Amino acid sequence: MKTIDELLSDGVAGKRVFVRADLNVPLSGTTITDDGRIRAVVPTVKALSEAGARVIVASHLGRPKGAPDPAFSLAPAAARLGELLGADVAFAEDTVGESAESTVSGLADGQVAVLENLRFNAGETAKDEAERGAFADRLAGLADIYVGDGFGAVHRKHASVFDLPKRLPHYAGFLIATEVGVLKKLTEDVARPYVVALGGSKVSDKLAVIDQLLGKADRILIGGGMAFTFLKAQGQEVGASLLQEDQIPAVTEYLERAEKQGVELVLPIDVVVSPGFPDLKAKAPTEHSAVDADKMPEGQLGLDIGPKTGELYASKLADAATVFWNGPMGVFEHPDYAEGTKAVAQALVDSDGFTVVGGGDSAAAVRTLGFDETAFGHISTGGGASLEYLEGKTLPGLAALED
């Protein structure tokens, strides 16, 4: 895989460089609520711009249905990118049409433009290779060189991620090079003890990565809504908590495998429960209490790991040489159910080991809860991509950057 360092050493002045970024940021109307993914691509865009390239930044945002939708416009992301660069950023109001062509042709050396949401064109996500390829051909007509730097999208076989780099000289940007380097530290010659903390709502989303980690991790800590399927598999009642009963056989098998393989699989010993789900916008105080995990009241929802579990998990993380954390421990968006996630995040901050926050909601939680991002070894921009890499899957966007 050739990197942007090689590209810059060859010289890019006057070249049109297409940067496939990940600007898929959360929005409240037109207000960006977490700009982490935009900040992550700034080093690549800035380096290319300062070297005299004409930089064309492209990304998806959300899940529009292959047609323009103002709710998913990249205009706010383009404006924020300009603020972070300290320079004007042009914005094309389409992806490969008249606005894109005129915007790109109007760039001078060192200037930057952002195309509108790639998913406004059905060819970006098409299953049909010919349709996807036709869109990639039109994108290729806008540029001379391709730089892949949207790690959060490399697990998607989409036109701008998989097909486009095959049509242009291609390089990995700084972000992708960093992400791949970090993931290799989690899969090759891992420093031990290796502890993994997994949370999130659905256990079905994490089964494949648990399957892989059972042969690699020393300890696996389970939290979030997915913990209740594990607790149910152990014969405990879980009240009205989120439960995937169809996954109980798989979870039971993993519990048995963990014991046989000497992997410490740790479940909550207490949980925070409530009669109902909180209003995440109002964030008003709710009725809640901590109860032992084996004494959950009927009709109550488990919404966070309890304080005793937070202390337990912190102790299990204390001596780790390598930590991978993916998924919050509870409904961290509400202050009544954020303490478990805070406890795990703080344990990573206090750790002397190499700590990786695996993107998605975990990365959002770190920023929402006010932690200093530099206190972690690495905060990934791609939760799904990180998990699929750890599952041992071939990621289309990375494969397309290989020569």
Which member of 360, 382, 383, 397 is catalytic?
360
Structure tokens at 183: 């993931």
262 is catalytic: no
For residue 211, CA distances in Å to 67, 217, 228, 229, 380 come to 38, 11, 18, 16, 21
For residue 147, CA distances in Å to 37, 101, 165, 285 come to 16, 19, 8, 47
Which member of 20, 37, 132, 342 is catalytic?
37
> Cβ neighbours of residue 226 under 8 Å, at least 6 residues apart?
198, 199, 200, 201, 202, 203, 205, 206, 242, 244, 327
The whole-angstrom separation of Cα 16 and Cα 111 is 10
Which member of 2, 39, 46, 202 is catalytic?
202
The whole-angstrom separation of Cα 174 and Cα 47 is 10
358 is catalytic: no
The whole-angstrom separation of Cα 73 and Cα 84 is 19
The whole-angstrom separation of Cα 64 and Cα 113 is 22
167 is catalytic: no
86 is catalytic: no
> Cβ neighbours of residue 189 under 8 Å, at least 6 residues apart?
none
The catalytic site residues sit at: 37, 202, 360, 384
